[in-house]
Structure 1
Amino acid sequence: MKNSWTNTISGFSRIKVVGKYTELFLNRCIRENVSIWHIRRVGDETIVCYVALEDVKRLRPIVKETKVKLYFIERRGMPFFVKKMISRTGFVAGVLSFVAILFILSNMVWDVSIEGASPKVEYQLSQAVQELGIKKGRFHFLLPSVEEIQMKVTSEIEEATWIGVTLNGTTYHFNVVEQTFPEKQEPIPPRHLVSKKKAIIYDIFVEQGQGKVVPNDFVDKGEMLISGFIGKEGKMEIAPAKGEIFGEVWYKSNVSIPLVSEFSTLTGENKKNYSLSILNVNVPIWGFGKPEFTEYEINEYSSNFKFLKWVLPIKYNRKYFLEKETLIVEYSTEEARSLATQMAREELTKKLDEDAVIKREKVLHETIENGKVKLMIHYQVIEDIAISQPIIQGD
């Protein structure tokens, strides 16, 4: 007996054999390797069994030799099903059209919902979403991935702290968490203001408390700048020290720049490949082969097809080959020094507060080693050096 799946695909028939020599008929079938199974006797001269469709033609000479009669009772399998469906073209076309329409609708955007946003942010987000092409009637697989959408809309909407993006069925959901601003500051507890680093006092403004330093004083880390104790001895009161103390702080930076630099950049030329992945088997659609570019980088995107709520094992793949070129830039010593100075200044600025000002910079040491210009730079920076120190009971 063959495998049931094989039988279903290739087709088989149920037959009735009538005659005196039914046993002889069975023996001849076995000798000729005719596939028969489920043999059952239903009378003295009658048997019923199944035979593979591909072996039906081979029964004719055996029937003649054994002088039996053959009757076909039932036909099953894919060939008979297809033949039946062909005879019902209208019905089959209707079913296929219905499935195709469901498949298309399952892969289209039918709604975009935004939750947790104020009217202003909701409008801004709606505009950003439409610019990305997310609107009713667009196919999911032609749109950016959910992660890419989330990254882009979060960077564009400044008033939103976080925007979550999910795709549920045919609907994109955007959950917005807006920035919250403190309503009213809590009363400041009693405190001193002390120095957070070594510095020379540049300027001091005391709003509340007693100033303990004046411009040009040198202070160490932790040294008191404005005391929270106010009043005279015997009538001393505790208050939160307030004020601004700017000090001159020193920084050193070591930076090196190669005289010859090599870097890659995109030229703007590209090649696109589109394909379908069916059960992990890749089927090219457009843009066959690799590009003719010497250097390139690859960006790949994949989207699953859906049918109603089910994710199908079919993916629409987009592969972009972006041409790159390698550029070699040679700097003179003066150009390398200028670029190194600029880089060091930018790195220092990132570490400083917004109100800090670089007062002066000076190159302390310069060398050229192994094709690199190396600089040691000294900076004088004016910045706020005050930090609060709570007044503990008993001080």
Structure 2
Amino acid sequence: MQYQLITYFQGHVKIEVRGKDIEKLMNELIHSKIKIWDAKRLSGGSIEFHIHLNDFFKLRPLLKKTGCRMRVRKRFGFPFFLNKFLRRKFFISGIALFLMGIYILSTMVWNIEVIGTERLSTEQVLEKAEGLGIHKYQFKFKMDDLDFVARELTRSLPESSWIGVTMKGTKIQIKVVESTIPEEVPLLSPRNLVATSDAIITEIFAEKGNPVVRVNHRVKKGDVLISGVIGDEENQEIVVAKGKVRGLVWYEYNVKVPLKQGVKVYTGSVVDRKYLVFGNRALKIMGFGSLEFEKSENILSKHMLGWREYSLHIGWMDEKILESQIVERELSMEEAQSVGIQQAISDILFSTGIDSKIQAQNIIETKEENGVVHMKILFEVEQDIMTEQPIAETNQLF
């Protein structure tokens, strides 16, 4: 491999030699230690071989001495490529202008990203930054020191406690840390915590107030769980009841599952399209023509050119369009039951909250009618079962 590279950069030629004393010429080449390779006889008595470019210029006296003539058949290597390249002045000028354009574009700001804003709007930050010379298409060398810009932005935006400005290639990132404002604690009226549904208590913790029930107690909807009235009859105090109560609740679900289900599959047919990307615009260069797929899915992959940390906002994008179709699949009874149970569980967790836990499930009834499986399922769910109730509404209970 190393020898091939040396040969390429030195350059070599393939020549044809004619004459009566070709054998004498070959002996002279060996005596002069001139290396040739791929030598072969041609019709008519001539011979063809390859020779290094620096040895090629040593041939003239040997040809004259032996009375032979030569003709260059082909040229190989970097010196010939460079000579041909240098003759194309317009091409070289175009490359120089292209590289100069890329360099100029890399010295400009192409994108400004603002992160960390919640109460502040991105437009507010960008407006203040523009007043300090930070905006799109600005040359980097015209901008002030970024630490100075960060301090001025922090000073001009009182809602922020710290702002950092960094340069990443052609993108400026403005990171904002907003000032912390203490949350206002709402004023709460005295209250009890009551059950939202019939349940068996599995956990109760009274942070404030008097727990009326214990673990394993059965309660009905509306029963008081944690009372806001504490103390005895002589020394009572009404407080805002706080705490946590969980219990087992039962749900009965009627589920219908069709035995024939539509499933998306890929046929294997793919259409490839390629685009040149300039900033936010894309120019299609391959994959023209109308798409004949009835259903399809697109997969995009974008590749942008860059140098070190600099992004040039120039690149290409590949698009694969996969043909798909809906295939009808028939479920077994066991599969249909599994699908129905999962549907019911998803509905339960959505309505009762992510903290809920399915403790048990039991299929009470299953039957098939006209290609549809009808199921009745009983679930035992552990969940939060408390809600607030003003004390005024329940004074008569105490």
Q: TM-score range by the shorter chain?
A: 0.3 to 0.5
State TM-score, norm by structure 1. 0.46
State TM-score, norm by structure 2. 0.46
